[in-house]
Structure 1
């Protein structure tokens, strides 16, 4: 598998040095173990092939021992020659089970190339960089949850090595030259690590059902996508819900019930500056959505145009502040210079990202909550307020902040 990553024209001496480097890093050659059940399985399923290979191997030994032109002791020494060792290895590999490898029939796969490096200007951080960082954090959080694997192997130069699990410290310190695999049988999870060169690796988690692990790995994660200040962290709320006016608390109860009942929910709150709209969205995210396993995305003007909800996340909350400056009436001159309004509409409809369901069904299970704030609904595009797009609306009138 991994031989495709290395040119056949490379110096074999270099490969030998790298192989010895693996041994120095703690890896050991993996010897295939004899398994009587596996041999009986071969005998019952393909007796002719087993008989033929056994006779061929016996014939090779007989030919080696029966050479008339050499002394008897030379024939015995030839049993240990490289050619006979090759014949023995080939026969042994046939009658013993192969080391376990990932089951690629598993539909849930999460992959990331690390470390995540991208040129960042002083004015902005590209949105794909931040989302890839989130994916990298998710992958390593999943690996932390899994703990030490039961088996770690590496395939390099047509040889299989294993790393003693009791000596495992962390993935970053594990020497990888070819392709490495790790396995957790109880969770039915595989990890594949590919060496990409120049300090880069690709970590791929392959699981029968990865969703519960991702939900735990992304608990309390929040992403702010706002130019140079974009970051992945935890949601912060300065004011608890119980400190808001009674009418807002009552509206919050309605929102909470709708979150529990609906797979997709859009909420719009309006009001003059200082009425606590932004603080309320943060409080809802912290006290209601985060405990339910939602990953929070706070989008600014630029991020709204390019944001695509990650399909490996089961529950997503999108917070869009000052929506009246983003989803402006498309009849106005200001709104005609961008497609922010159309993109927000597609998020509210779900038509752009949920119209095609992949085989894993992740999109089908995804829950989406959109919380929007605006100073006035008068500047919003009428399509935003059309029935079926905004589920709940409230006007905040109490000066709160």
Structure 2
């Protein structure tokens, strides 16, 4: 799967990669002064065969060192992008050999004529050591890099004590500078990777939340719709047995209307357009319970608009559960406004064994809605009465 979704991110990744690759080609820099000096001395007849061979080997080892640097850095980038790519042992051996040969050749040329080649040795050491550490930066933390630079400083100090303190200081400064410049460049890429991962996680969470909302709304909407269809179908059947065909036909027409509107409700749920009204839900609850022969008593304080939608969902699911799981003859819906909150109590006098111990998806959905706004849901028995108590705060805005 493509890690980046924006062209700018791709360009930035390419910039970081190629910036480091170009930096890792620095061991080729000493070839120019060495080549110029060798060419001049060759024309003067001062170079012997061994010196020519060492100069050629210096160039070959520089090319090999650059190649190994880039391969190692590329493997480090792959690890950054969570693609584990272990380095083969032969590559590490070739990398170490190229570095040793490169530095040895530069040291040999410097020993031939320190005054002429000495500065070239300093440049070769800076470029070789600095780029080797830089190639490892995609795989090193800041602490690890600090330790590596500190360890490399020890032999550089020894070089300064026995050979040239000025050159040693120059080498140390450039090694530290190149290493940390490369590490900071790669660090920016790490930050971009982390930001991209955060965006992907956020998108996944948003998708999961939307799926949960659709699932919850479908449960609440169609639980009520199916319960209504079941009640009206049973009523129509009973009326038909009693010979009241006209009233039975009215009830069956209502069943048909409910079935036809179900498709519209599905689309509204999926689009997030379904917003139940407190007044409509109370009226619908009364009508549905009345159709089932259950007395419904509504009382209490007005419900603030800030919590009306959430409590409307609670009434819808609560009434559906009463029709499914109880043998109630009376249902009460009461609201009580208290300090910074409102309490909705939905009670029925026919709690069955299943309802009292149930903690199914209906109760879970109501609890989730209330928790999202800082409220709470409590269910309990009181003799033959089953009580569902929803508490919602009225002093904060509610997110659906």
TM, length-normalised to structure 1:
0.26
Q: Which has the higher contact order (CA 8 A, sep 6+)?
A: 1
Whose radius of gyration is greater, 1 or 2?
2
Higher strand share: 1
